[in-house]
């Protein structure tokens, strides 16, 4: 390639680069158009918000501060996840307009910004204060989608992804575009629930009962040992160590999908014929998990209670010095108080509720005793001895 041609190619590359930068800046400036930087809800003090509702095509979600806690009204007043709602309100309070969109009423449907009750309606967020008066109301419309590619922060390849949302103040005409998608607006009531549940770890002994009769019992001597199944094992059978071992970790990562109506009767939840799993940890905490039937959505009804069944007095060691006794007594008392508080806090949080959980959460512990056994492997048959090859007679002389 001649030097003149190479120089021309370099100049073309520089020009193309400059054009690309100019286009990129133009897009950025259009994204930061007229009205940019103005608060979406001017003068909103989120610390004064005591209730908010989201009304969309799926229904209504109401989160309100009541009896000292934020609660989800459509879930019988179950506590809401504070971190989630706090972030939501904080983002809303700081939300600024990225661009004022030139769109009249005829364009509201296209942007999903029609009033509730109409086709192509937006999701109406209403914020209220302690006196019940409306503080602000905003319609959330269609998400703004950005074309995928190398700049996709979600790492989703070439697919489009939401990077903003169209909004309109209740009763207002102006359409605003903001740089947050607010995915929470379209979520179901159960997604706002406080998802803190319970966790069973370091099981010392466990048993399953049904209709007042013990189905199986298992225990172990220390935290490094495996559970041992109590009782005789039938001939030709042995313990399925994988299934028995899964009991140790069955509730180490327990989650619930939703909460049930507290007014449901035992025959509706299956608690009148429930299976009861009781697990005692090495620290003395006992979990009693009641498992009912599967509901219409294929989720099990479940309830849990906690209690303490460990030592309440320390055993004094032989030849223990007075100064050591004082220290050890205090350590024991502090640990006991901590454990008992943990039990009380758990019962206060979950003890009066009925939960809906996925099958994987419970089916490792609701197996019958026979399910925890398997057939012994059959011994290998010994190969039959091969007949000796006939010996050829010696050649005749």
182-199 pLDDT per residue, tens: 999 999 999 999 999 999
163 or 292, higher pLDDT: 292
Helices (H), the chain: 3-31, 82-94, 241-246, 266-269, 322-350, 359-362
Q: Which two tokens stand for residue 293?
A: 């039937």
Residues 282 and 165 in one domain: no
Going by pLDDT thresholds of 50, 70 and 90, the confidence category of residue 14 is very low
Is 23 domain-assigned?
Answer: no
- What's the structural domain count of the chain? 2
Asked whether residue 122 is assigned to any structural domain, the reply reads yes
Average pLDDT over the chain, rounded to whole? Answer: 87
Q: State the pLDDT confidence band at 152, using cuts at 50, 70 and 90.
A: low
Q: Do 160 and 148 contact (CB within 8 A), yes or no?
A: yes
pLDDT given for residue 391 in this prediction: 63
What's the rounded Cα separation, in Å, for the pair 276 and 261? Answer: 21
pLDDT value at 10 more than 50: no
Please write the tens of the pLDDT for every residue from 83-122: 999 999 999 999 999 999 999 999 999 999 999 999 999 9
What average pLDDT does this structure show over 219-241?
95
- Does 3 have pLDDT greater than 90? no
214 plus 346 within the same structural domain: yes
What is the DSSP pairing of strand 355-357 with strand 228-229?
unpaired
Does 210 lie in the same domain as 73?
A: no
CB atoms within 10 A of CB 123: 22
Range of the domain at 291: 203-375
Q: Does residue 331 sit within a domain?
A: yes
Q: What is the DSSP string of 151-177?
A: T-TT--TT--EEEEEEEEETT---EEE
Give yes or no: residues 324 and 368 share one domain: yes
178 and 222, same domain (yes or no): no
> pLDDT, tens digit, for every residue of 46-69?
999 999 999 998 899 999 999 999
Q: Are residues 207 and 335 in the same domain?
A: yes
Could you give the CA distance from residue 51 to residue 93 in angstroms, rounded to a whole number?
14
CA-to-CA distance for 294 and 360, rounded, in angstroms? 12
CB 228 within 8 A of CB 245: no
Residue 244 is given by DSSP the state: H
Q: pLDDT digits over 260-308, tens only?
A: 999 999 999 999 999 999 999 999 999 999 999 998 888 999 999 999 9
Whether residues 178 and 253 fall in one domain: no
Q: pLDDT digits over 241-260, tens only?
A: 999 999 999 999 999 999 99
Share of the chain above pLDDT 90, in %: 74
| Burial label, 377 (beta-carbon count in 10 A; 0-12, 13-18, 19+) | exposed
- Supply φ then ψ for residue 166, to 5 degrees: -90, 135
Residues 331 and 228 in one domain: yes
Domain presence at residue 27: no
Instruction: Give me the pLDDT at residue 313, please.
Output: 92
Return the H-helix or E-strand segment holding 365: none
Answer yes or no: do 176 and 213 share one domain: no
Distance (Å, whole) CA 241 – CA 373: 8
Is position 391 within any domain? Answer: no
Residue 252 lies in a domain: yes
Pairing of the two strands 69-72 and 258-259: unpaired
Domain identity same for 162 and 37: yes
Comparing CA positions, the residue from 166, 198, 199, 208 lying closest to residue 185 is 166
Are both 215 and 68 inside the same structural domain?
no
Section 369-379 average pLDDT:
92
Q: Is 5 part of a structural domain of the chain? A: no
Q: Are residues 128 and 258 in the same domain?
A: no
pLDDT band (50, 70, 90) for residue 154: low
Token code pair at residue 223? 């935290």
Evaluate the CA torsion angle 89, 90, 93, 98 in order and state its sign.
negative
Q: Which pair of tokens denotes residue 151?
A: 């700049």
What is the band of 160 on the pLDDT scale with cuts at 50, 70, 90? confident
Residue 42 pLDDT more than 60?
yes
Query: Is residue 129, in this structure, part of any structural domain at all?
Result: yes
Q: Can you tell me the mean pLDDT for 5-21?
A: 46
How far is 357 from 364, CA to CA, in rounded Å? Answer: 13
Question: Residue 202: its pLDDT value, please?
Answer: 93
Beta bridge partner(s), residue 62? 53
């Amino acid at each position: 390639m001649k030097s003149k041609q190479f120089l021309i190619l370099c100049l073309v590359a520089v020009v193309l680069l400059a054009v690309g930068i100019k286009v990129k800046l133009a897009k950025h400036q259009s994204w930061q158009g007229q009205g940019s930087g103005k608060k979406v809800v001017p003068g909103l003090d989120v610390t004064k918000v005591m209730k908010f509702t989201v009304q969309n095509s799926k229904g209504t979600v109401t989160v309100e501060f009541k009896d000292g806690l934020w609660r989800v009204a459509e879930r019988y007043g179950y506590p809401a996840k504070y971190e989630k709602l706090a972030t939501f309100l904080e983002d809303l309070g700081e939300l600024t307009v990225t661009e004022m969109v030139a769109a009249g009423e005829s364009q509201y449907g296209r942007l999903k910004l029609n009033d509730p009750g109409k086709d192509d309606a937006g999701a109406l967020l209403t914020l209220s204060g302690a006196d019940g008066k409306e503080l602000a109301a905003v319609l959330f419309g269609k998400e703004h989608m950005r074309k995928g590619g190398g700049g996709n922060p979600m790492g989703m390849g070439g697919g489009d992804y939401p990077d903003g949302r169209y909004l309109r103040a209740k009763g207002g005409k102006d359409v605003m575009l903001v740089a947050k998608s607010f995915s929470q607006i379209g979520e179901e009531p159960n997604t706002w629930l406080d998802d803190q549940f319970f966790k069973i770890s370091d099981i010392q002994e466990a048993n399953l009962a049904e209709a007042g009769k013990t189905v199986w019992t298992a225990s172990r001597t220390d935290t490094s040992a495996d559970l041992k199944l109590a009782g005789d094992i039938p001939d030709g059978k042995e313990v399925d160590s994988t299934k028995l071992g899964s009991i140790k970790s069955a509730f180490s990562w327990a989650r619930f999908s939703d909460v049930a109506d507290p007014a449901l009767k035992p025959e509706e939840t299956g608690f009148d014929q429930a299976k009861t799993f009781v697990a005692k940890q090495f620290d003395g905490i006992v979990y009693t998990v009641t498992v009912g039937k599967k509901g219409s959505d294929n989720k099990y009804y479940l309830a849990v209670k906690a209690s303490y069944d460990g030592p309440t007095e320390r055993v004094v060691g032989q030849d223990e010095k007075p100064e050591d006794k004082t220290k050890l007594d205090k350590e024991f008392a502090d640990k006991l108080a901590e454990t008992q508080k943990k039990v009380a806090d758990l019962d206060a949080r979950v003890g009066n509720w009925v939960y809906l959980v996925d099958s994987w959460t419970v089916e490792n512990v609701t197996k019958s005793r026979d399910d925890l056994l398997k057939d012994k492997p059959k011994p290998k048959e010994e190969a039959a001895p091969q007949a000796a090859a006939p010996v050829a007679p010696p050649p005749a002389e």
